[in-house]
Amino acid sequence: MTDHFAHRAADWDQPSKIKMTDKFVEELLLNLNLKSDWKALEIGAGTGLVGLKLLPSLKAVVFEDTSPAMLEVLKSKLKGDELVELVQGEIFEYQKQDIDLVFSCMAFHHIPDLDKALSHLASVTKKNAYVVIGDLIEEDGSFHRFEPIPHKGFNLKALSGKFKTAGFEVKNAYIYDTLERERIEGKISAYEQFILIAQKI
């Protein structure tokens, strides 16, 4: 499998990405009280900008990402005494049925088959486990400079329906931030970000 992020991993932790992930973490913590006995799974962990901030409040975190280069950067940040597991591969790679919390920031739009992915998350999570997703509201494709990706953002109503079908109850879903990016020279475009909190029933 080609590592599409290999050339970007070393310079991934830019101020704009740190600000974006900090905002997601802040919003997640407004909605959930993390428990010190929870085991969490992060989908699309990247260099750990989200998961490493949440790790001190959790028992353990499984960091999953398709990019070996991203996980190498993440690994370099670890002290060695953390309860972590690094999994390189697609969302389906993790198979144990022991997860209390799943979280993902700006990765779900890269997953081709959402129904299959959510069904898998239902299979690896405990009853009453939470899934928290941060991603883009539907956009025109310019966020990724019109590169072919599975989803140009999401319609919240439609996405909530997919969670329900997979066996989750959506507790909250709303727009919490706006990203401003220059995708066409001289033009700043705004992209709305949402957070969705669901619980396995």
Domain-located, residue 114: yes
What DSSP line would sit under 19-86, residue for residue?
HHHHHHHHHHHHH----TT-EEEEET-TTSTTHHHHGGGSSEEEEEES-HHHHHHHHHH--S-S-EEE
Q: What's the domain range around 127? A: 9-200
Q: Is the pLDDT of residue 1 over 70?
A: no
Domain-located, residue 2: no
Distance, in Å, from the CA atom of 108 to the CA atom of 115, rounded to the nearest integer, reads 12
CATH of the domain at 62: 3.40.50.150
* pTM metric for this prediction: 0.92
Domain-located, residue 3: no
146-195: pLDDT as tens digits: 777 889 999 999 999 999 999 999 999 999 999 988 777 778 889 999 99
* CA terminus-to-terminus distance, the chain: 35
Strands annotated E in 78-186: 84-88, 99-105, 125-136, 168-184
